[in-house]
Chains A and B, each alone.
Chain A
């Protein structure tokens, strides 16, 4: 079968634009999720009544509702309450809302894995609370959590493919549009697949390298 090369050449710039938008969306969502993940875990340890319950409830709501529903709520539901965000804003907020809850759980597993003896040892040599977190807890917790965090990052990059339903022109939305307009199914899907591989394979590789560096001490002898 012959691929329509002029069609591919003509729409390559479109894919370039959609690629940057999708990547930007994914990076923003990952950044937001990391912040939410760390803050959420911080909240679990502050002595404010109800803070733990609040974090727990957020995680349950965010993880147990589909992203599709969250995006529809933000885009079509909020205007009824007088809040009208652009499609792009809804996409970033939706992805961060979902990703943040996954990050909270992943970081939690890391923090919970730090042995009690480590904290006691730190306290016994007179470390301050800040020093304890900075030099004892965080390095160990993050190293343990990293594989899960990396998986969440890849998950969020791929999950961007759904934002087309609120008319955000990401890669998937562009591809469906081109198929609908010109019926060049194979050419469009090929470009789409290449674009996602171009984005996710390097990201996956970079996370793998990072993991090897940070988890050096965890490697089996």
Chain B
């Protein structure tokens, strides 16, 4: 028994050493522009189940608004929009993928928040985001103030989760890893409502007419931006230049018409309410 206890302590001590070493080690930037050109492919983290931003179409291809931007960046940097390797990820592990050098850039509907800005570097924004809340059409809930005492479904690691944790701690949260599971849980009646980015919900309610939005503009007027690993100034500057240029060239307006309008339908009247075309506004 003594031996067992001692070995358990040894394991614990080793673990702590490993944790502290991991924290101290300076990771070398593996996502320099030279390195990306050498390997001849840009590795981008995107969503796989969040239409219309990043999802998989019937042929198994990555598609969506974020994916279109990723392909454009690949075309500019490497001369071919096919020279982009997509890594599908979940909201909660976006930061980890950057930190562990698994992707060069995250283009996954990534809202710029102060907490996240401490651990990754956000480039120039390309969209605006607020939070929405959906309920079944026959729900008695009319607005945010009715949510108290009800179960609200969210995705782990999203701005929706942190907004309700901070501002409405009395609302009980049911947290899922993936969108598919969260929306299925709403359909199964496991929560009274679901909160997510408003644009995602615009699209979802178009596709699921049994549900309606009771809130569409919650939270700070946040912006969505590409993110690179903290400290990768070279890639950050390059990405910033591209975003500014693409805004001027009307790329986002074209991508909106192609990727977003078919999903949003009449839910969004004016694209300029969701696109960042002039960051001063």
A contact set with B: CB distance below 8 Å: 1, 76, 79, 84, 87, 164-165, 167, 169, 173, 176-177, 179-183, 185-186, 189-190, 193-194, 197, 201, 204-205, 208-209
14 A-B residue pairs with Cβ-Cβ distance under 8 Å, sorted by A, are A1-B23, A167-B176, A167-B185, A169-B175, A176-B92, A176-B177, A180-B156, A180-B157, A180-B161, A181-B157, A181-B162, A183-B119, A193-B15, A205-B1
**Is A165 a contact of B115 with CB atoms below 8 Å?**
no
A204 to B176, CA, bound (A): 31
Residues in B neighbouring A165, C-beta threshold 8 A: 176-177, 181
* Complex interface bits, B124-161 against A, C-beta within 8 A gives 1, otherwise 0: 00000000000000000000000000000000111001
Taking the nearest CB of chain A, how far is it from the CB of B228, in angstroms?
Answer: 16
**Is B96 a contact of A185 with CB atoms below 8 Å?**
yes
A169 to B19, CA, bound (A): 25
A106 to B8, CA, bound (A): 27
**Is B175 a contact of A173 with CB atoms below 8 Å?**
yes
Residues in A neighbouring B19, C-beta threshold 8 A: 1, 186, 189-190
Residues in A neighbouring B23, C-beta threshold 8 A: 1, 186
Residues in A neighbouring B165, C-beta threshold 8 A: 181
Residues in B neighbouring A181, C-beta threshold 8 A: 115, 157, 161-162, 165
Flag whether B95 is at the interface (Cβ < 8 A). Answer: yes
| Most interface-central of A165, A177, A180, A181 (chain B CB within 10 A) | A180
A215 to B162, CA, bound (A): 53
In this complex, how many residues of chain B approach chain A with their Cβ under 8 Å: the count is 37
If A76-B184, A183-B116, A208-B1 touch, whether A177 touches B177 (CB-CB below 8 Å) is no
* Complex interface bits, B73-97 against A, C-beta within 8 A gives 1, otherwise 0: 0000000000000000001110110
A102 to B165, CA, bound (A): 40
What 9 A-B pairs are tightest by C-beta distance, nearest first? A180-B157, A1-B23, A180-B92, A79-B188, A183-B119, A167-B174, A180-B156, A1-B20, A201-B8
**Is A84 a contact of B95 with CB atoms below 8 Å?**
no
B contact set with A: CB distance below 8 Å: 1, 4-5, 8, 12, 15-16, 19-20, 22-24, 91-93, 95-96, 115-116, 118-119, 156-158, 161-162, 165, 174-177, 181, 184-185, 188-190
Taking the nearest CB of chain A, how far is it from the CB of B275, in angstroms?
Answer: 27
**Is A186 a contact of B22 with CB atoms below 8 Å?**
yes
**Is A208 a contact of B96 with CB atoms below 8 Å?**
no
**Is A197 a contact of B115 with CB atoms below 8 Å?**
no
**Is B92 a contact of A179 with CB atoms below 8 Å?**
yes
Q: Which residue of A lies closest to B162 (CB)?
A: A181
Taking the nearest CB of chain B, how far is it from the CB of A101, in angstroms?
Answer: 26
| Most interface-central of B1, B91, B119, B175 (chain A CB within 10 A) | B175
A185 to B99, CA, bound (A): 11
A76 to B177, CA, bound (A): 14
A193 to B16, CA, bound (A): 10
Residues in A neighbouring B93, C-beta threshold 8 A: 180
Q: Which residue of A lies closest to B118 (CB)?
A: A183
**Is A177 a contact of B156 with CB atoms below 8 Å?**
yes
Residues in B neighbouring A185, C-beta threshold 8 A: 96
**Is B162 a contact of A197 with CB atoms below 8 Å?**
no
Residues in A neighbouring B8, C-beta threshold 8 A: 197, 201
**Is B175 a contact of A167 with CB atoms below 8 Å?**
yes
Residues in B neighbouring A84, C-beta threshold 8 A: 188-190
Taking the nearest CB of chain A, how far is it from the CB of B167, in angstroms?
Answer: 13
Residues in A neighbouring B158, C-beta threshold 8 A: 180
4 additional contacts (CB under 8 A) given A164-B177, A179-B157: A1-B23, A177-B175, A179-B92, A180-B158
A169 to B175, CA, bound (A): 8
Residues in A neighbouring B174, C-beta threshold 8 A: 87, 167
Residues in A neighbouring B1, C-beta threshold 8 A: 205, 208-209
Q: Which of A1, A179, A197, A208 contacts B24 (CB 8 A)?
A: A1
Residues in B neighbouring A173, C-beta threshold 8 A: 175
